[in-house]
Amino acid sequence: MTDNHRQALISVYDKTGVVELARRLVALKWEIISSGGTSDALANASVPVTPVEQITGAPEILNGRVKTIHPTIHGGLLADLSNPSHIKDLHDRGIVPIDLVVCNLYPFSSEPSVELIDIGGPAMVRAAAKNHQRVGVVTQSADYDTVLEELERNDVLSDATRKRLAQIAYTHTSTYDAEIANWLADAKDEQLPPTVTLTLKRQDVLRYGENPHQQGALYRIAGGSSWWDEARQLQGKAMSYLNVLDTDAAWRLAHSLGSNPAAVIIKHANPCGAAIADYATTAYQRAHECDPMSAFGGIVAVNRPVTTDMAEAMTDTFIEVLVAPELKQDALALLAKKKNLRILHAPAPEATKWELRTLGDAALMKTPDTVTLDRSTWQVVTKKTPTDEQWVDLEMAWSVAAHVSSNCIVLVKDLQAVGIGAGQQNRRDAGMLAAQKAAGRATGGACASDAFFPFRDGLDAAAKAGCAAVIQPGGSIRDQEVIDAANEHNIAMVFTGERHFHH
């Protein structure tokens, strides 16, 4: 091979920028080989191109399933030109080395099917990446300009560039294979399959990790779709690790509280305020009233557009992050005065298939904790039955409790959380903390416990706080003792049969 006979093989599904790329390569005296739709696109743009079948002598077959899988192509990609036997093989078979591959794959995750499983593309990419000591491989259009500028400047790609491109290429093919493997696993309807193949792509470098001396980044699962993909930060400093963690918790809780206007305040991964109301501003104000001291520096999520009234209600409070589906322009202008406030405009959160937690080089995986609000599956175990108003408070308290670190007690009155006791090692202390925060506001309201009361003292604490109805899973060996205590206090109690520990 001589410098004036360099071959580039271009075969892409996403043709963004490919015509300009090919034109600039031709201007540098490169010969372009291409297949299928890419070849047609280049020819239609009057770019000199040699169809692959002209090189191989074998037309594509099987409706395009076989195009580039041929010794002439892969020999040209894999040949080590420092190896005399490789040179002889090329010469004996009339194979010309290929120096550059530009290839991206069928978008399998867009509409998973057998016909979108690319075979020839990954084979070419892997072959070129394996031989990166000589061959450049480009799998993303974002690298077109960088590659072209280096070729125009130096006539060749540096070792470092080829190695970087090879790493990107193998990530590209491994991600693609992971999408297919996970699709096949999903087809077997296994919630926790024997093997889970994940490729994580860094989406954003965060301001810092859990603490300022730690690094942090947000990654997305390749082939998946997260609400974070479409979230847009409208103002404020860069997000930190905890900002992201707490914002996600707030956004998911806000969307779990039903279709009416709702507001949630999260601090250190736990709700310190939640409310449902006829108007979003009212919901925010009532959420803030739950625990104003803890709300300082919290994350606010509302499931309705932020209006000027709501923005005005926020002006006297330090908020780390505000996330909403929309912000009215007047509200945004008012909040712009809070320079450090991070504001996110975001779509509703996606449903999760499973949750993953790393343990060093091991991992725990579980299915998501879905909260059931089907009264027909619940059991009233006391003489007294909840009133209509108490039922809706019980449902809200139960929904919020599932998002609070265990052990927890949540007190709700008139669709407003008034006391939240979170993350206590015993349930009695969680109840005492919730009652202390409620400060009498739970009278006539509902109490939710994320797990059963092991002793009657938890129920007695709910009665002392003024609660008129209690919801809990049941299942303790002392259930009858707790039921008797509820009847003594003339409290209605509901067993759900479903625990909601949260760690």
What integer pLDDT is reported at residue 187 of this predicted model?
A: 61
The rounded distance, in Å, linking the Cα atoms of 443 and 468 is 7
The percentage of residues in the chain with a pLDDT greater than 70, rounded to a whole number, is 98
The rounded distance, in Å, linking the Cα atoms of 303 and 99 is 54
| Superfamily of domain covering 6-184 | Methylglyoxal synthase-like domain (3.40.50.1380)
What integer pLDDT is reported at residue 4 of this predicted model?
A: 57
Provide the pLDDT confidence category of residue 399 given band limits of 50, 70 and 90. Answer: very high
**Residue 362: which residues within 8 A CB-CB, separation 6 or more?**
none
Cβ neighbour number for residue 40 with a 10 Å cutoff: 13
Please report how the helices 427-438 and 457-464 are oriented relative to each other, as an axis angle in degrees rounded to 10.
0
What integer pLDDT is reported at residue 416 of this predicted model?
A: 98
Topology alike, domains 6-184 and 375-495: no
CA distances from 40 to 35, 51, 106, 147, 156 (A): 8, 9, 17, 23, 27
Rounded to a whole number, what is the distance in angstroms from the first to the last CA of the chain? 63
The residue extents of the domains of the chain are: 6-184, 231-345, 375-495
Cβ–Cβ < 8 Å for 174, 152: no
What integer pLDDT is reported at residue 2 of this predicted model?
A: 40
What integer pLDDT is reported at residue 1 of this predicted model?
A: 39
Segment 419-469, tens digit of pLDDT: 999 999 999 999 999 999 999 999 999 999 999 999 999 999 999 999 999
Helix, strand, coil content of the chain in percent (nearest 5): 40, 20, 40
Catalytic residues: 130, 268
DSSP state of 453: -
Cβ neighbour number for residue 446 with a 10 Å cutoff: 31
Give the architecture-level CATH label for domain 231-345: 3-Layer(aba) Sandwich (3.40)
What integer pLDDT is reported at residue 178 of this predicted model?
A: 84
Q: Specify the pTM.
A: 0.82
Element (H, E) at 221: strand 217-221
What integer pLDDT is reported at residue 57 of this predicted model?
A: 81
Query: Environment class of residue 182 by beta-carbon count within 10 Å: exposed (0-12), middle (13-18) or buried (19+)?
Result: buried
Bigger pLDDT: 5 vs 178 = 178
pLDDT over 80 at 64, yes or no:
no
Element (H, E) at 40: helix 36-44
What integer pLDDT is reported at residue 106 of this predicted model?
A: 78
Segment 283-303, tens digit of pLDDT: 999 999 999 999 999 999 999
What integer pLDDT is reported at residue 188 of this predicted model?
A: 63
Segment 302-352, tens digit of pLDDT: 999 999 999 999 998 999 999 999 999 999 999 999 989 999 999 999 998
CATH topology of domain 375-495: Cytidine Deaminase; domain 2 (3.40.140)
DSSP state of 30: E
